[in-house]
Amino acid sequence: MMGANEQDCVFCRVGRHEAPAEYVYEDETVFVIKDRFPKAPVHLLVIPRKHIARIDALSTEDNGLIVHLFEVVRLIAVKYHLEAGYRVIINSGAEGGQTVSHLHVHLIAGKCLGFREDAAL
């Protein structure tokens, strides 16, 4: 799905309620859905409504959006009682593991998420 534009981007369609998703939060700037292929008991995607392909496509005009994105991560962590810990991941580009060309944050929790440089989730 890399290279998608706003018209054929799956996350843009989900944000417009034109594609199915399980929503857990929405406001005028971002929405949060459950990942269709979860890597842990809690695996949510925090997605800006504005189509931004990846981190390198951000501009200074997006500063408020990025702050809000992380405010929502915090709100969702509280809502899901993730005091024991969680992981926040942003993949950027194909070699960085990004499979949908629309900036999004993975919020993953619900099991021990130890870190090993040579191991995937």
Q: Which residues are catalytic?
A: 104
Residue 64 exposed, middle or buried by CB count within 10 Å (0-12, 13-18, 19+): exposed
CA neighbor of 53 nearest in space, from 113, 106, 11? 11
CB atoms within 10 A of CB 121: 13
The CA distances from residue 106 to 23, 37, 60, 61, 121, in Å, are 14, 12, 22, 23, 12
Q: Say if CB 2 and CB 92 are below 8 A apart.
A: no
Token pair for 4:
């998608």
